[in-house]
Amino acid sequence: MKGLIQRVTHASVTVDKQTISAINIGLLILLGVEKTDSAEIAAKLCRKVINYRVFPDDQGRMNRSLLDAGGSLLVVPQFTLAADTRSGTRPGFSVAAPPDQAETLFLEFLAVSEQLLGIAAVGRGQFGADMKVALENDGPVTFLLEVEGKPE
């Protein structure tokens, strides 16, 4: 499972010209699900994202997590993040999870996020929709986090 996180001052998701979710200071995560992923892997990545230290402390060092900063999380399913881009000039999607599995694991990631942060601090994209994602990347700060294999 892959999560592209971006520290944001604000971010939103729009579907059919309607804003369906928005956050202020926090993290936007684009979530890519692969065939080998499981609920345990989704929970492990979620805990990693929420505890990843990307917010500045009093000295300006990235030493505070989303929990420490009291920020929000916007989770957006991103099928193309699971693409195999190692060769050629066209992405391959053979490792991407099928839609049913991907949606189940997206919802599992959301459930763990809401449990750790509180439901009011978690926004979501719409699985399978044509979404428009707007954000103001703070820094810019962007990291690709990956979790694979058996959970710890």
> What residue spans define the domains of the chain?
2-84+94-143
The segments of the chain whose pLDDT lies below 50 read 151-152
What is the predicted pLDDT for the residue at 122?
A: 97
Distance set, CA 72 to CA 45, 69, 80, 133 (Å)? 16, 9, 24, 16
Residues 48-57: b if buried by 16+ CB within 10 A, e if exposed: ebbebebbbe
Confirm whether 18 is a catalytic residue.
no
pLDDT tens digits along 12-39: 999 999 999 999 999 999 999 999 999 9
Q: Which pLDDT belongs to residue 148? A: 82
Of these residues, 14, 55, 78, 109, which one is catalytic?
A: 78
Known catalytic residue at 106: no
Residue 147 near residue 17 (C-beta atoms within 8 A): no
Known catalytic membership, residue 78: yes
2-84+94-143 maps to which CATH number?
3.50.80.10
DSSP state of 119: G
Of 80, 85, 115, 142, the active-site residue reads 80
